[in-house]
Amino acid sequence: MGSVPTGFSRTVPLSLFAGALLLLGLVVSALVFANMTRNNSAEALRTARLNQRALLLLSLLQDAETNARGYILTGHEVYRTEFERAGALVRLQMDSLRDSLQKNRAWR
């Protein structure tokens, strides 16, 4: 006579299997969320760098404006020289910012 499995002995393997599937699902979802977090933090870092470049450009434009105003009011050449220097730096920063924006667009 063979022994007939009882209800308890059937549910234990099924419970273990269900627990293993649940654990596997948790591990997979943790990996997916970790990858999403990594991508989001990389994008936040790129955005912060773009913001920093834009703020530097604004500062350079303000320097150019201040020096132009100083030259107009006083006629001192030092203001004109600083205005021209700021203008050159503005052009460089604009090119740098444009390149960064294009790279950021290409990344998306």
CA 41 to chain centre: 5
Residue 90 lies in a domain: yes
pLDDT digits (tens, 9 = 90+) for 49-61: 999 999 999 999 9
Q: The whole model's pTM is what? A: 0.67
In whole angstroms, give the CA distance from residue 24 to residue 37. 20
Helix crossing, 77-107 with 7-74: angle to 10°?
160
Confirm whether 2 is domain-assigned: no
43 inside domain = yes
Query: Where does the pLDDT of residue 12 fall: very low under 50, low under 70, confident under 90, or very high at 90 and above?
Result: confident
Domain count for the chain, please give it.
Answer: 1
Is 33 a member of any domain? yes
Q: Which domain holds residue 55?
A: 7-107
